[in-house]
Structure 1
């Protein structure tokens, strides 16, 4: 056998061995790819993504699409080495360490549950932000989410209790309840007025000392919104908080005459607070690719993601900076009418 033939044979065996090794060795990475998009003013599974009952709505057109990232991998289904290598060379994908998606302190199931909870909170925050933008009044009630075992409140306060007052003073936010408790001293008895299953009750809890030495009763709270009409959001198994801004825009579009999109295909991403502040998200590069593939020409981008987005924006996608819901609405008005300034992403 000639030296050239022997070299080719050895090289072939090495390539085969590397291929087999790469196909059977799993690596602790997650491959991120562009995920599906959903038009928030459209339908999914023949049902409206956003349904509003108890308030007049108006016809809409165009697209206000939320964008997602799909992933392959996780502690229970790690990708093989070849899959990871393909992800590294694919410009539309990203390969990240497994624990950046699945913290070592959480199981995959716990991460999924957290994503589902974040999506639910995102929908509530989006409704609150939309109503805030439209100056429609709503209220919030601090509500007990959970009670720590062996804490002073255990057996006294219960999940779903709506806290109306602390020591006789009315409260309307989680922060007010927390401040009222911390204003007391460990060992003090604190009186809570709560609504439980529609019944008003008084509960007294003896405060203990926190690690910081302040008074605590051992409850986790969340704000429960009381809206003047019902908003239902249907997005299937999409999780996480990053669709908040697009939900809020969809709600506004349905509640106001005319079309906020001007008939254009708009996509975007960003978390939202009840006050309308837009927050940064992850996977911006993959989300932009998904948006462009779905036909979007304008992409609403959280201000804190602009620098990263500019480095990976696909051709034909206009990046519009959005740091608040109000700013996003104004930008869409300017795009639709051709009047006014449209804030663009910058590298700074």
Structure 2
């Protein structure tokens, strides 16, 4: 066999071997890509995303789109060829598998966690919007979750209202942890609670729940990665009673990142005039009860998805600005926001056409 032919054959076989290896060898990566965007002012799957009853609402126009990211499943095993293709593609991002599914988290666990975060983001969006409008929202500290096989299991229940710990009144979830950790492991903590059934009955009857009971729980030593401390195995949270009905109808979405856009949509529907001036505005960001906007993941994919749908402006959490500005889709203006007040101010400038006044994202933040 001529030397040139032998060399070509060897090179071809080597290439085939490398290609086969690339297709067969799994790599510890996952893929993120742009997901659907939904107008919080419009309809989704045949019904309004925001449904408000018991309070006057006003017509809206334009777009206030929440954005999403698609991710590969927890059990998907990417090969080398797919990873390289993803790295080269503009509309996807390859990240370490553990970034999306840390500590071996399963698909079911991730879905459940995202659903809980999405539900909480809806509640915070409602509270933030109503607070900004000066509408009173009643709130209280509750048992959000009870850890399986913990000292609290069977004694405290998700939804119980925590009125006091060891006789000291609690006003926010952080108070509960502070009071528990004053104890040493093995000591008793006394919780004064309104049982979840009593609270539910009171809400249904539109009265204040007054029936309380004291529940004693023995602490144990924490077993997480933090400092050793006394714990009982609960996560405290906040629940609210709203003065009228606000429902957010959006299925198959998870995580907390739609909070800002939900809050703005609610605010728009409860106020006369148009927040957007008919413009196409998209955005993202977590939001807390006080209207503070927090960072999210997958910002580059969300801006790509928003622009592909026609967005002109993108409300961007301040902590995501630097990353988003490194590769801004053509025709999209990134607007930096830290609070719901910032977002409302930016929307005022957008509808008035004063884009020069907008606080824009840069690669420095």
User: Does the 8 A contact of 2:160 with 2:193 survive in 1?
Assistant: no
User: Does the 8 A contact of 1:73 with 1:79 survive in 2?
Assistant: no
Is 1:203 aligned to residue 219 of structure 2? no
Superposed CA deviations along residues 47-91 of structure 1, whole A, max 9, x for unmatched, are 1111112211111111111111112353x1112221111101112
| Structure-2 residue corresponding to 1:157 | 156
- 1:108-119 matches, cutoff 5 A: 108-119=107-118
Mean Cα displacement is larger for which, 254-263 or 186-195?
Answer: 186-195
Q: Per the alignment, do residues 32 and 193 of structure 1 end up closer, same or farther by CA in structure 2, a change over 3 Å counting? A: closer
Whole-Å separation in 1 of the counterparts to 2:148 and 2:256? 29
Pairwise CA RMSD? 2.5
Mean Cα displacement is larger for which, 104-113 or 188-197?
Answer: 188-197
Whole-Å separation in 2 of the counterparts to 1:20 and 1:3? 26
Whole-Å separation in 2 of the counterparts to 1:292 and 1:180? 48
Superposed CA deviations along residues 153-186 of structure 1, whole A, max 9, x for unmatched, are 4433222211234455554422344445456777
The SS at the match of 2:214 is: strand
Whole-Å separation in 2 of the counterparts to 1:131 and 1:237? 26
Mean Cα displacement is larger for which, 3-12 or 20-29?
Answer: 3-12
| Structure-1 residue corresponding to 2:64 | 64
1:213 CA displacement: 8.3
Superposed CA deviations along residues 169-207 of structure 1, whole A, max 9, x for unmatched, are 554422344445456777466351424312623124155
1:46 CA displacement: 0.6
Mean Cα displacement is larger for which, 25-34 or 215-224?
Answer: 215-224
Q: Per the alignment, do residues 345 and 167 of structure 1 end up closer, same or farther by CA in structure 2, a change over 3 Å counting? A: same
| Structure-1 residue corresponding to 2:208 | none
Is 1:285 aligned to residue 300 of structure 2? yes
Q: Per the alignment, do residues 25 and 142 of structure 1 end up closer, same or farther by CA in structure 2, a change over 3 Å counting? A: same
Whole-Å separation in 2 of the counterparts to 1:109 and 1:210? 28
1:285 CA displacement: 1.0
Is 1:342 aligned to residue 341 of structure 2? no
User: Does the 8 A contact of 2:23 with 2:81 survive in 1?
Assistant: yes
Q: Per the alignment, do residues 80 and 165 of structure 1 end up closer, same or farther by CA in structure 2, a change over 3 Å counting? A: same
| Structure-2 residue corresponding to 1:52 | 52
Whole-Å separation in 2 of the counterparts to 1:71 and 1:166? 42
Match of 1:243 among 237, 258, 267: 258
Q: Per the alignment, do residues 344 and 149 of structure 1 end up closer, same or farther by CA in structure 2, a change over 3 Å counting? A: closer
Whole-Å separation in 2 of the counterparts to 1:177 and 1:92? 44
- 1:145-224 matches, cutoff 5 A: 145-148=144-147, 153-166=152-165, 170-181=169-180, 187=187, 190=190, 192-198=192-198, 200-205=211-216, 208=219, 217-224=232-239
Mean Cα displacement is larger for which, 295-304 or 26-35?
Answer: 26-35
| Structure-2 residue corresponding to 1:39 | 39
| Structure-1 residue corresponding to 2:279 | 264
Superposed CA deviations along residues 68-116 of structure 1, whole A, max 9, x for unmatched, are 1112353x11122211111011122211111111112422221121111
Is 1:298 aligned to residue 313 of structure 2? yes
Q: Can you give the 5+ residue segments of structure 1 that lack an aligned partner in the other structure? A: none
Superposed CA deviations along residues 235-272 of structure 1, whole A, max 9, x for unmatched, are 22111111111111111111111111111110111111
1:32 CA displacement: 1.3
| Structure-2 residue corresponding to 1:141 | 140
Is 1:253 aligned to residue 273 of structure 2? no
Q: Per the alignment, do residues 103 and 183 of structure 1 end up closer, same or farther by CA in structure 2, a change over 3 Å counting? A: closer
| Structure-2 residue corresponding to 1:132 | 131
Whole-Å separation in 2 of the counterparts to 1:214 and 1:106? 25
Mean Cα displacement is larger for which, 107-116 or 202-211?
Answer: 202-211
Match of 2:334 among 319, 328, 335: 319
Q: Per the alignment, do residues 191 and 83 of structure 1 end up closer, same or farther by CA in structure 2, a change over 3 Å counting? A: closer
Q: Per the alignment, do residues 43 and 87 of structure 1 end up closer, same or farther by CA in structure 2, a change over 3 Å counting? A: same
User: Does the 8 A contact of 1:123 with 1:247 survive in 2?
Assistant: yes
Count of residues in correspondence between the two structures: 347
Mean Cα displacement is larger for which, 323-332 or 106-115?
Answer: 106-115
Is 1:82 aligned to residue 97 of structure 2? no
